[in-house]
Protein backbone atom coordinates (compact mmCIF):
# COMPACT_ATOMS: atom_id res chain seq x y z
CA UNK A 1 0.00 0.00 0.00
CA UNK A 2 2.84 2.37 0.91
CA UNK A 3 4.59 1.64 -2.40
CA UNK A 4 1.34 2.31 -4.29
CA UNK A 5 0.89 5.68 -2.58
CA UNK A 6 4.50 6.61 -3.30
CA UNK A 7 3.99 5.66 -6.95
CA UNK A 8 0.88 7.87 -7.15
CA UNK A 9 2.76 10.78 -5.59
CA UNK A 10 5.63 10.31 -8.04
CA UNK A 11 3.19 10.32 -10.97
CA UNK A 12 1.51 13.48 -9.69
CA UNK A 13 4.88 15.20 -9.22
CA UNK A 14 5.89 14.18 -12.74
CA UNK A 15 2.62 15.53 -14.15
CA UNK A 16 2.93 18.75 -12.17
CA UNK A 17 6.45 19.37 -13.51
CA UNK A 18 5.19 18.47 -16.98
CA UNK A 19 2.41 21.09 -16.69
CA UNK A 20 4.85 23.72 -15.39
CA UNK A 21 7.26 23.08 -18.26
CA UNK A 22 4.58 23.21 -20.95
CA UNK A 23 2.99 26.29 -19.40
CA UNK A 24 6.35 28.05 -19.60
CA UNK A 25 6.96 26.96 -23.20
CA UNK A 26 3.44 28.07 -24.19
CA UNK A 27 4.31 31.66 -23.28
CA UNK A 28 6.65 31.79 -26.27
CA UNK A 29 3.65 31.54 -28.61
CA UNK A 30 3.67 35.32 -28.24
CA UNK A 31 6.34 36.27 -25.71
CA UNK A 32 5.93 39.94 -26.63
CA UNK A 33 2.67 39.97 -24.66
CA UNK A 34 4.71 39.10 -21.55
CA UNK A 35 7.63 41.44 -22.19
CA UNK A 36 5.41 44.34 -23.32
CA UNK A 37 2.08 43.63 -21.65
CA UNK A 38 -0.94 45.57 -22.94
CA UNK A 39 -4.70 45.35 -22.83
CA UNK A 40 -6.75 43.36 -25.30
CA UNK A 41 -10.18 44.54 -26.47
CA UNK A 42 -12.80 44.47 -23.68
CA UNK A 43 -10.10 44.01 -21.02
CA UNK A 44 -9.16 47.64 -21.42
CA UNK A 45 -12.14 49.27 -23.11
CA UNK A 46 -14.77 47.84 -20.76
CA UNK A 47 -13.38 46.24 -17.61
CA UNK A 48 -10.35 48.38 -16.75
CA UNK A 49 -11.85 51.64 -18.01
CA UNK A 50 -15.07 51.22 -16.03
CA UNK A 51 -13.22 50.13 -12.88
CA UNK A 52 -11.04 53.25 -13.12
CA UNK A 53 -13.77 55.72 -14.08
CA UNK A 54 -16.21 54.50 -11.42
CA UNK A 55 -13.66 54.98 -8.64
CA UNK A 56 -16.30 56.57 -6.41
CA UNK A 57 -18.62 53.55 -6.76
CA UNK A 58 -16.52 50.47 -7.36
CA UNK A 59 -19.50 48.12 -7.25
CA UNK A 60 -21.42 49.74 -10.12
CA UNK A 61 -19.46 48.07 -12.97
CA UNK A 62 -20.48 44.67 -11.55
CA UNK A 63 -24.10 45.51 -12.40
CA UNK A 64 -23.21 46.28 -16.04
CA UNK A 65 -23.51 43.62 -18.72
CA UNK A 66 -21.37 43.32 -21.80
CA UNK A 67 -22.86 41.76 -24.93
CA UNK A 68 -25.85 40.81 -22.82
CA UNK A 69 -24.31 38.98 -19.85
CA UNK A 70 -22.31 39.56 -16.68
CA UNK A 71 -18.51 39.29 -16.88
CA UNK A 72 -17.65 39.11 -13.19
CA UNK A 73 -14.12 37.67 -13.11
CA UNK A 74 -12.49 40.30 -15.38
CA UNK A 75 -14.27 42.99 -13.38
CA UNK A 76 -12.89 41.59 -10.12
CA UNK A 77 -9.37 41.70 -11.55
CA UNK A 78 -9.96 45.22 -12.92
CA UNK A 79 -11.02 46.33 -9.45
CA UNK A 80 -7.96 44.75 -7.84
CA UNK A 81 -5.67 46.62 -10.25
CA UNK A 82 -6.93 49.92 -8.86
CA UNK A 83 -5.01 49.22 -5.65
CA UNK A 84 -1.73 48.90 -7.57
CA UNK A 85 0.23 51.36 -9.73
CA UNK A 86 -1.62 51.71 -13.04
CA UNK A 87 1.51 50.79 -15.00
CA UNK A 88 1.21 47.27 -13.52
CA UNK A 89 -2.42 46.77 -14.56
CA UNK A 90 -1.71 44.78 -17.75
CA UNK A 91 0.72 42.48 -15.94
CA UNK A 92 -1.93 41.75 -13.30
CA UNK A 93 -4.48 41.00 -16.03
CA UNK A 94 -2.15 38.51 -17.73
CA UNK A 95 -1.18 36.83 -14.45
CA UNK A 96 -4.85 36.52 -13.47
CA UNK A 97 -5.66 34.90 -16.80
CA UNK A 98 -2.75 32.49 -16.47
CA UNK A 99 -3.96 31.34 -13.04
CA UNK A 100 -7.32 30.40 -14.58
CA UNK A 101 -5.65 28.67 -17.52
CA UNK A 102 -3.59 26.52 -15.13
CA UNK A 103 -6.67 25.19 -13.31
CA UNK A 104 -7.97 22.60 -15.85
CA UNK A 105 -4.64 20.70 -16.09
CA UNK A 106 -4.24 20.78 -12.31
CA UNK A 107 -7.74 19.35 -11.83
CA UNK A 108 -7.02 16.62 -14.41
CA UNK A 109 -3.84 15.46 -12.61
CA UNK A 110 -5.54 15.47 -9.20
CA UNK A 111 -6.70 12.26 -7.49
CA UNK A 112 -10.27 13.24 -8.33
CA UNK A 113 -9.61 12.34 -11.97
CA UNK A 114 -7.75 9.07 -11.43
CA UNK A 115 -10.85 6.98 -12.01
CA UNK A 116 -11.73 8.98 -15.12
CA UNK A 117 -8.35 9.15 -16.88
CA UNK A 118 -6.17 6.44 -15.34
CA UNK A 119 -3.34 6.58 -17.88
CA UNK A 120 -0.55 9.06 -17.17
CA UNK A 121 0.32 9.08 -20.88
CA UNK A 122 -3.26 9.95 -21.81
CA UNK A 123 -3.27 12.82 -19.30
CA UNK A 124 -0.04 14.11 -20.81
CA UNK A 125 -1.43 13.95 -24.36
CA UNK A 126 -4.63 15.81 -23.41
CA UNK A 127 -2.74 18.45 -21.42
CA UNK A 128 -0.24 18.95 -24.28
CA UNK A 129 -3.06 19.48 -26.74
CA UNK A 130 -4.68 21.91 -24.29
CA UNK A 131 -1.55 24.07 -24.12
CA UNK A 132 -0.60 24.04 -27.79
CA UNK A 133 -3.82 23.28 -29.66
CA UNK A 134 -3.99 24.72 -33.19
CA UNK A 135 -6.49 27.41 -34.16
CA UNK A 136 -6.66 28.89 -30.65
CA UNK A 137 -4.78 32.20 -30.77
CA UNK A 138 -7.86 34.22 -29.77
CA UNK A 139 -8.01 32.66 -26.30
CA UNK A 140 -4.36 33.37 -25.50
CA UNK A 141 -3.42 35.59 -22.53
CA UNK A 142 -6.47 37.87 -22.33
CA UNK A 143 -9.12 38.06 -19.63
CA UNK A 144 -11.78 38.78 -22.24
CA UNK A 145 -11.76 35.07 -23.09
CA UNK A 146 -11.13 33.72 -19.58
CA UNK A 147 -14.83 32.85 -19.49
CA UNK A 148 -14.18 29.86 -21.78
CA UNK A 149 -11.57 28.49 -19.37
CA UNK A 150 -13.88 29.11 -16.43
CA UNK A 151 -16.60 27.23 -18.32
CA UNK A 152 -14.15 24.32 -18.66
CA UNK A 153 -13.24 24.49 -14.97
CA UNK A 154 -16.94 24.33 -14.07
CA UNK A 155 -17.44 21.25 -16.23
CA UNK A 156 -14.37 19.45 -14.86
CA UNK A 157 -15.61 20.07 -11.31
CA UNK A 158 -18.90 18.38 -12.18
CA UNK A 159 -17.20 15.49 -14.01
CA UNK A 160 -14.57 14.88 -11.29
CA UNK A 161 -15.17 12.72 -8.26
CA UNK A 162 -16.63 14.86 -5.44
CA UNK A 163 -14.08 15.43 -2.70
CA UNK A 164 -14.58 15.21 1.07
CA UNK A 165 -11.71 17.65 1.54
CA UNK A 166 -13.03 21.04 2.75
CA UNK A 167 -10.53 23.00 0.65
CA UNK A 168 -11.64 21.17 -2.52
CA UNK A 169 -15.31 21.69 -1.63
CA UNK A 170 -14.83 25.43 -1.13
CA UNK A 171 -12.84 25.60 -4.37
CA UNK A 172 -15.62 23.80 -6.26
CA UNK A 173 -18.40 26.06 -5.01
CA UNK A 174 -16.44 29.29 -5.51
CA UNK A 175 -15.33 28.35 -9.04
CA UNK A 176 -18.81 27.20 -10.06
CA UNK A 177 -20.23 30.52 -8.90
CA UNK A 178 -17.45 32.52 -10.54
CA UNK A 179 -17.84 30.57 -13.78
CA UNK A 180 -21.61 31.06 -13.77
CA UNK A 181 -21.30 34.81 -13.22
CA UNK A 182 -18.64 35.31 -15.91
CA UNK A 183 -20.49 33.82 -18.87
CA UNK A 184 -23.93 32.38 -19.67
CA UNK A 185 -22.75 28.77 -19.53
CA UNK A 186 -24.29 27.44 -16.31
CA UNK A 187 -27.44 26.70 -18.28
CA UNK A 188 -25.57 23.95 -20.11
CA UNK A 189 -24.21 22.50 -16.86
CA UNK A 190 -27.71 21.76 -15.57
CA UNK A 191 -28.33 18.68 -17.82
CA UNK A 192 -24.84 17.38 -16.97
CA UNK A 193 -25.53 17.66 -13.23
CA UNK A 194 -28.90 15.97 -13.66
CA UNK A 195 -27.44 13.14 -15.75
CA UNK A 196 -24.57 12.47 -13.36
CA UNK A 197 -26.15 12.89 -9.94
CA UNK A 198 -29.89 12.25 -10.31
CA UNK A 199 -31.32 8.85 -11.18
CA UNK A 200 -34.98 8.19 -11.99
CA UNK A 201 -36.24 5.13 -10.09
CA UNK A 202 -39.27 3.97 -12.08
CA UNK A 203 -40.11 1.13 -9.68
CA UNK A 204 -40.45 3.36 -6.64
CA UNK A 205 -41.52 6.38 -8.69
CA UNK A 206 -38.92 8.67 -7.21
CA UNK A 207 -35.71 10.46 -8.10
CA UNK A 208 -32.61 9.24 -6.27
CA UNK A 209 -29.84 11.69 -5.48
CA UNK A 210 -26.46 9.98 -5.79
CA UNK A 211 -24.40 12.73 -4.09
CA UNK A 212 -25.66 15.32 -1.60
CA UNK A 213 -23.20 17.90 -2.96
CA UNK A 214 -25.11 17.76 -6.25
CA UNK A 215 -27.92 19.84 -4.73
CA UNK A 216 -25.45 22.65 -4.12
CA UNK A 217 -24.06 22.30 -7.64
CA UNK A 218 -27.55 22.37 -9.11
CA UNK A 219 -28.59 25.36 -6.98
CA UNK A 220 -25.58 27.39 -8.13
CA UNK A 221 -26.15 26.45 -11.77
CA UNK A 222 -29.86 27.35 -11.58
CA UNK A 223 -29.18 30.68 -9.85
CA UNK A 224 -26.45 31.73 -12.29
CA UNK A 225 -28.49 30.55 -15.29
CA UNK A 226 -31.53 32.54 -14.23
CA UNK A 227 -29.50 35.68 -13.64
CA UNK A 228 -27.55 35.45 -16.90
CA UNK A 229 -30.61 34.52 -18.98
CA UNK A 230 -32.46 37.49 -17.53
CA UNK A 231 -29.62 39.76 -18.67
CA UNK A 232 -29.40 38.09 -22.09
CA UNK A 233 -33.18 38.34 -22.62
CA UNK A 234 -33.02 42.10 -22.04
CA UNK A 235 -30.22 42.42 -24.59
CA UNK A 236 -31.35 40.07 -27.38
CA UNK A 237 -33.24 41.71 -30.26
CA UNK A 238 -36.69 40.36 -31.01
CA UNK A 239 -36.19 39.59 -34.71
CA UNK A 240 -33.82 37.40 -36.73
CA UNK A 241 -31.23 39.35 -38.70
CA UNK A 242 -30.10 36.40 -40.84
CA UNK A 243 -32.31 34.60 -43.34
CA UNK A 244 -32.86 30.88 -42.67
CA UNK A 245 -31.46 29.77 -46.05
CA UNK A 246 -28.05 31.16 -45.03
CA UNK A 247 -27.79 29.05 -41.88
CA UNK A 248 -26.91 25.63 -43.35
CA UNK A 249 -24.03 26.63 -45.67
CA UNK A 250 -22.39 28.90 -43.10
CA UNK A 251 -22.65 26.48 -40.19
CA UNK A 252 -21.47 23.60 -42.38
CA UNK A 253 -18.37 25.55 -43.38
CA UNK A 254 -17.83 26.62 -39.75
CA UNK A 255 -18.03 23.06 -38.40
CA UNK A 256 -15.94 21.53 -41.19
CA UNK A 257 -13.27 24.23 -41.26
CA UNK A 258 -12.99 25.56 -37.73
CA UNK A 259 -13.46 22.29 -35.80
CA UNK A 260 -13.06 19.18 -37.96
CA UNK A 261 -10.10 20.68 -39.88
CA UNK A 262 -8.87 23.53 -37.67
CA UNK A 263 -8.58 21.45 -34.50
CA UNK A 264 -5.92 19.34 -36.23
CA UNK A 265 -4.25 21.40 -38.97
CA UNK A 266 -4.71 24.84 -37.43
CA UNK A 267 -5.28 28.25 -38.98
CA UNK A 268 -3.38 27.46 -42.17
CA UNK A 269 -5.43 24.32 -42.67
CA UNK A 270 -8.65 26.28 -42.14
CA UNK A 271 -7.45 28.97 -44.54
CA UNK A 272 -6.58 26.48 -47.28
CA UNK A 273 -9.89 24.70 -46.79
CA UNK A 274 -11.85 27.96 -46.82
CA UNK A 275 -10.10 29.49 -49.82
CA UNK A 276 -10.25 26.35 -51.95
CA UNK A 277 -13.72 25.14 -51.13
CA UNK A 278 -15.75 28.07 -49.84
CA UNK A 279 -17.57 28.58 -53.15
CA UNK A 280 -19.42 25.27 -52.95
CA UNK A 281 -20.51 22.88 -50.20
CA UNK A 282 -19.27 19.49 -51.39
CA UNK A 283 -16.16 19.28 -49.22
CA UNK A 284 -17.65 21.10 -46.19
CA UNK A 285 -20.61 18.69 -46.24
CA UNK A 286 -18.33 15.63 -46.52
CA UNK A 287 -16.12 16.73 -43.62
CA UNK A 288 -19.16 17.73 -41.56
CA UNK A 289 -20.79 14.33 -42.07
CA UNK A 290 -17.57 12.53 -41.09
CA UNK A 291 -16.96 14.75 -38.07
CA UNK A 292 -20.54 14.59 -36.79
CA UNK A 293 -20.55 10.79 -37.28
CA UNK A 294 -17.47 10.48 -35.06
CA UNK A 295 -19.07 12.70 -32.40
CA UNK A 296 -22.32 10.70 -32.48
CA UNK A 297 -20.39 7.41 -32.26
CA UNK A 298 -18.58 8.72 -29.18
CA UNK A 299 -21.81 9.95 -27.60
CA UNK A 300 -23.34 6.49 -28.04
CA UNK A 301 -20.40 4.24 -27.14
CA UNK A 302 -17.91 6.43 -25.27
CA UNK A 303 -17.27 6.62 -21.52
CA UNK A 304 -19.65 8.84 -19.57
CA UNK A 305 -17.12 11.61 -18.73
CA UNK A 306 -16.43 12.09 -22.45
CA UNK A 307 -20.19 12.05 -23.15
CA UNK A 308 -20.67 14.78 -20.52
CA UNK A 309 -17.92 16.84 -22.12
CA UNK A 310 -19.32 16.57 -25.63
CA UNK A 311 -22.88 17.24 -24.54
CA UNK A 312 -21.84 20.34 -22.59
CA UNK A 313 -19.52 21.88 -25.17
CA UNK A 314 -21.71 21.24 -28.20
CA UNK A 315 -24.82 22.53 -26.42
CA UNK A 316 -22.73 25.60 -25.66
CA UNK A 317 -21.69 25.87 -29.32
CA UNK A 318 -25.35 25.58 -30.37
CA UNK A 319 -26.16 28.43 -28.00
CA UNK A 320 -23.38 30.55 -29.50
CA UNK A 321 -24.62 29.85 -33.02
CA UNK A 322 -28.20 30.69 -32.04
CA UNK A 323 -27.16 33.93 -30.38
CA UNK A 324 -25.11 34.94 -33.42
CA UNK A 325 -28.07 34.03 -35.64
CA UNK A 326 -30.25 36.31 -33.53
CA UNK A 327 -27.96 39.30 -33.12
CA UNK A 328 -25.51 39.43 -36.07
CA UNK A 329 -26.10 40.81 -39.53
CA UNK A 330 -25.35 38.53 -42.48
CA UNK A 331 -21.72 39.70 -42.67
CA UNK A 332 -21.18 38.98 -38.98
CA UNK A 333 -22.84 35.59 -39.30
CA UNK A 334 -20.71 34.67 -42.33
CA UNK A 335 -17.57 35.44 -40.32
CA UNK A 336 -18.25 32.37 -38.16
CA UNK A 337 -16.80 30.25 -40.96
CA UNK A 338 -13.84 32.47 -41.88
CA UNK A 339 -10.26 31.83 -40.73
CA UNK A 340 -9.11 33.88 -37.69
CA UNK A 341 -12.73 34.69 -36.75
CA UNK A 342 -14.88 33.55 -33.79
CA UNK A 343 -12.18 31.06 -32.74
CA UNK A 344 -13.28 31.35 -29.08
CA UNK A 345 -16.53 29.54 -29.94
CA UNK A 346 -14.62 26.50 -31.19
CA UNK A 347 -12.04 26.25 -28.41
CA UNK A 348 -13.82 23.74 -26.15
CA UNK A 349 -15.66 21.79 -28.93
CA UNK A 350 -12.31 21.30 -30.72
CA UNK A 351 -10.78 19.64 -27.66
CA UNK A 352 -13.79 17.33 -27.46
CA UNK A 353 -13.58 16.48 -31.16
CA UNK A 354 -9.88 15.60 -31.07
CA UNK A 355 -10.38 13.36 -28.01
CA UNK A 356 -13.36 11.74 -29.76
CA UNK A 357 -11.31 11.16 -32.91
CA UNK A 358 -8.57 9.54 -30.82
CA UNK A 359 -11.19 7.39 -29.10
CA UNK A 360 -12.67 6.38 -32.48
CA UNK A 361 -9.28 5.42 -33.92
CA UNK A 362 -8.47 3.42 -30.79
CA UNK A 363 -11.71 1.45 -31.25
CA UNK A 364 -10.74 0.22 -34.71
CA UNK A 365 -10.62 -3.56 -34.35
CA UNK A 366 -8.06 -4.14 -37.07
CA UNK A 367 -4.86 -3.45 -35.13
CA UNK A 368 -2.70 -3.20 -38.24
CA UNK A 369 -4.86 -0.33 -39.48
CA UNK A 370 -4.92 1.20 -36.01
CA UNK A 371 -1.11 1.16 -35.81
CA UNK A 372 -0.95 3.11 -39.05
CA UNK A 373 -3.78 5.60 -38.48
CA UNK A 374 -3.00 6.56 -34.88
CA UNK A 375 0.61 7.71 -35.56
CA UNK A 376 -0.64 9.62 -38.62
CA UNK A 377 -3.30 11.24 -36.41
CA UNK A 378 -0.67 12.33 -33.86
CA UNK A 379 1.65 13.49 -36.64
CA UNK A 380 -1.09 15.64 -38.17
CA UNK A 381 -1.77 17.28 -34.78
CA UNK A 382 1.95 17.88 -34.20
CA UNK A 383 2.15 19.49 -37.64
CA UNK A 384 -0.82 21.71 -36.79
CA UNK A 385 0.77 22.66 -33.47
CA UNK A 386 4.07 23.41 -35.18
CA UNK A 387 2.45 25.57 -37.85
CA UNK A 388 0.28 27.38 -35.29
CA UNK A 389 2.83 27.65 -32.48
CA UNK A 390 3.45 31.37 -32.97
CA UNK A 391 0.29 33.41 -32.66
CA UNK A 392 -0.41 36.33 -35.02
CA UNK A 393 1.53 39.39 -33.94
CA UNK A 394 -0.24 42.29 -32.30
CA UNK A 395 0.72 45.96 -32.50
CA UNK A 396 3.34 46.60 -29.81
CA UNK A 397 2.24 49.42 -27.51
CA UNK A 398 4.38 51.06 -24.87
CA UNK A 399 1.73 50.85 -22.16
CA UNK A 400 3.91 52.20 -19.29
CA UNK A 401 4.70 55.32 -21.36
CA UNK A 402 1.02 55.79 -22.28
CA UNK A 403 0.01 55.58 -18.62
CA UNK A 404 2.87 57.84 -17.50
CA UNK A 405 1.68 60.50 -19.95
CA UNK A 406 -1.91 60.00 -18.81
CA UNK A 407 -0.97 60.54 -15.16
CA UNK A 408 0.52 63.93 -16.05
CA UNK A 409 -2.72 65.44 -17.39
CA UNK A 410 -5.10 67.52 -15.25
CA UNK A 411 -7.83 65.87 -13.22
CA UNK A 412 -11.07 65.62 -15.18
CA UNK A 413 -9.30 65.29 -18.55
CA UNK A 414 -10.80 62.64 -20.85
CA UNK A 415 -8.10 60.59 -22.58
CA UNK A 416 -8.31 57.91 -25.25
CA UNK A 417 -5.53 55.37 -24.84
CA UNK A 418 -4.89 52.89 -27.69
CA UNK A 419 -5.08 49.17 -26.97
CA UNK A 420 -5.06 45.98 -29.06
CA UNK A 421 -6.50 45.05 -31.52
CA UNK A 422 -5.81 47.96 -33.86
CA UNK A 423 -8.34 50.83 -33.81
CA UNK A 424 -9.46 49.92 -30.27
CA UNK A 425 -8.95 52.31 -27.38
CA UNK A 426 -10.04 52.81 -23.78
CA UNK A 427 -11.45 56.07 -22.47
CA UNK A 428 -10.17 57.13 -19.06
CA UNK A 429 -11.23 60.19 -17.07
CA UNK A 430 -8.27 61.39 -15.00
CA UNK A 431 -8.99 61.53 -11.29
CA UNK A 432 -6.79 62.06 -8.20
pLDDT per position as a tens digit, 94-149: 999 999 999 999 999 999 998 899 889 999 999 999 999 999 999 999 999 999 99
How many CB atoms are closer than 10 A to CB 373?
16
Name the least confident of 159-163, 189-193, 236-240, 378-382.
236-240
Q: Which has more confidence, 330 or 292?
A: 292
pLDDT per position as a tens digit, 259-315: 999 999 999 888 877 765 556 788 889 999 999 999 999 999 999 999 999 999 999
Are 426 and 48 in contact by the 8 Å Cβ rule? The answer is yes
Euclidean distance between CA atoms 415 and 329, whole angstroms: 32
- pTM given for the model: 0.94
Name the least confident of 180-184, 204-208, 267-271, 360-364.
204-208
Asked whether the CA dihedral 167, 173, 179, 185 is positive or negative, the reply is: positive
Name the least confident of 318-332, 369-383, 403-417.
318-332
Euclidean distance between CA atoms 370 and 373, whole angstroms: 5
Euclidean distance between CA atoms 232 and 234, whole angstroms: 5
pLDDT band at 29 (very low <50, low <70, confident <90, very high): very high
With a cut of 60, say whether residue 4 has pLDDT above it.
no
Region 9-22: mean pLDDT is 90
Q: Which has more confidence, 255 or 8?
A: 255
Q: Identify which of 17, 37, 40 has the alpha carbon closest to the alpha carbon of residue 89.
A: 37
Region 317-341: mean pLDDT is 85
Q: What is the mean pLDDT of the chain?
A: 90
Q: Which residues pair with 198 in a beta bridge?
A: 209
With a cut of 90, say whether residue 364 has pLDDT above it.
no
pLDDT band at 242 (very low <50, low <70, confident <90, very high): confident
pLDDT band at 333 (very low <50, low <70, confident <90, very high): confident
Are 139 and 344 in contact by the 8 Å Cβ rule? The answer is yes
- The residue extents of the domains of the chain are 243-392, 399-429
Euclidean distance between CA atoms 191 and 287, whole angstroms: 29
pLDDT per position as a tens digit, 379-427: 999 999 999 999 888 888 899 999 999 999 999 999 999 999 999 999 9
Q: Which residues contact 321 (CB under 8 A, 6 or more apart)?
A: 251, 254, 336, 345
With a cut of 60, say whether residue 238 has pLDDT above it.
no
Name the least confident of 10-14, 21-25, 172-176.
10-14
Region 330-348: mean pLDDT is 89
CA triple 41-43-49, angle to 5 deg: 105
**Percent of the chain scoring above 90 in pLDDT:** 71
Amino acid sequence: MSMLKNSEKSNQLLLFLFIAFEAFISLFRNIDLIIHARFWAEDGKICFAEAYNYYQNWLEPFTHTYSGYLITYPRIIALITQFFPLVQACNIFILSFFIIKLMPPLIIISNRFNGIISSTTMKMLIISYYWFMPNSYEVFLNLTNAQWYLALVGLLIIIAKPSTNKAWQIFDLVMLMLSGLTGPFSLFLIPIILLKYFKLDLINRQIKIQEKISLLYLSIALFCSFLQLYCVAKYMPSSHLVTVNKIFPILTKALAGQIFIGSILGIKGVSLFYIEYSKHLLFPVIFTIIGCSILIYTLVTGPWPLKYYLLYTYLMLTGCFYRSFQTADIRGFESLAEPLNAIRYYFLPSIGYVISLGYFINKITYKKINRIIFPLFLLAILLGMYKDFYNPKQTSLNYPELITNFLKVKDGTICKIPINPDCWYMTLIKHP
